[in-house]
A and B are shown apart, each in its own frame.
Chain A
Amino acid sequence: MLDLIAQQVLNGLSLGMGYVLVALGLTLVFGVLHIVNFAHGVFYMLGGLITLLCVTKLGLPLTLALVLATVCVGAIAYLIDIIGVRPVAHGPKGHDTVMLSTFAIGLFIFEVTLVSWGTAPQRVAGYSGLLTFFDLTLTVHRATVLVVGAVLLAAIWFTLNKTKFGKQMRALAENPFAARVVGVPVERVGSATFIIAGALAGIAGALLVPISLFTPLIGQNVILKAFVIVVMGGMGSVVGAMVCGLALGVLEAVGSIYIPAGFNLALIYSTLLIVLLIRPKGLFGGRL
């Protein structure tokens, strides 16, 4: 039994790493732009979809497909920024309007994908191979997810702490007025953040689709999990997103041993409500 749990923990970590990337995007956008992007889930879905299409329809190697997917999703994020966020973010009740606007865009993209693709799940093969240590196994693909995720996390950490752009992001997150005063190009930094966030979710979708099947619904599912992570970890907290994201993946994987999938998710979502009631600021406060 212990072995099973340990194995699930390992599997859960790779799943969780994907969630971390998605949640990171969400929390970066919230921290820097102070808005919640309800279309964030479609970045994940499209990342998976494009990867799927590249491999199955275009016959491209997986790695190339991953890169292409990321780039495309980044571009789509830029479009959404221009169409759905920038025009409405600064008006009266801007925050509410952005929520509605991104919700609508996300819904539209989801529905169109649903109609064109249908609901039949499709699988694509990941990196093949198996690693074993002690009594545990880890597929090469899952290991890749962990490695790529860790590299990206390190890159984000580096950007935020060691580059000027990262400091501009943090400045904007902390004090938009002062950031403007010192001459930070507010619009440019905001858009760049939005694109990065989208790309992160896109990579996550691309990486995870060989593990968990593709259906258009994966975007809707992941965004709810991302919300749970971000609320638990604290809106705007990178560390929070990391810790809670991995924890969620592990909980989901271990939980699935004992509880049927639907209830498993319901329980996890319930924790969000509990956290909101007890500690709305999240476990790690709200600092980038």
Chain B
Amino acid sequence: MVWQAHNCISCHTLLGNGGYRGGDLSHVIIKGRAAVVGYLINPPVMLPNRIRRHPAVQEEEAERLADYLTFIDTIPTLGWPPEKSAGKP
């Protein structure tokens, strides 16, 4: 799977578990599928870096990852995460 193959868990959390560097992506898909796919195909520079960009993936991989994140978004998490900004990268 794309999530596992690119070791995304090292920097991001899903359902709160994973690396704390890049934020939780459990509900990131609510930003819109096109926005997520676009981000993955043409990744921006990762702050606080000035050169290093977020790793890029192929369009087909980005679509599959968006499917996966859509499924993750449906998992009932009993109100976690409590912040109103959940989903913002």
Report if A and B associate in a common complex.
no
